[in-house]
Amino acid sequence: MKPLSIELFPGGLIGIRWEDGREDFLPAREVRLACPCAECVDEITGERTLDPAGVPEDVRPLSWEPVGNYAVAFRWSDGHSSGFYHHDLLRRLGDATRRRQG
């Protein structure tokens, strides 16, 4: 499943329209905390090493760009930009947001 469009809203939501017509609105900080890069996750154990306390409550993506045709990279307001968010990861974050909203 691929995103057709990604929109960054000033209020801190990341809107994703998927090729199956689904639209997700992901809370920016949640996406930041799910960063899969080697600075945020131990590559060997898979354990998350990013301390959420060090991530500002109002962290926002400033911009994004596609990585190949499989992932998206965000440039975050806290200066972080090394994470490649595979489309499957973004979709799973969308699933989690939906489950929480019922």
Applying CB under 5 A, the residues found at the interface with Zn ion are 35, 37, 39-40, 83
Minimum CB separation from Zn ion for residue 35, in Å?
3
CA angle 37, 75, 47 (to 5 degrees): 20
Q: Which is nearer to Zn ion, 40 or 90 (CB)?
A: 40
Backbone angles phi, psi at 27, to 5 degrees: -65, 125
> Distance from first CA to last CA of the chain, Å, rounded?
22
Q: Which is nearer to Zn ion, 19 or 39 (CB)?
A: 39
Q: Which is nearer to Zn ion, 22 or 48 (CB)?
A: 48
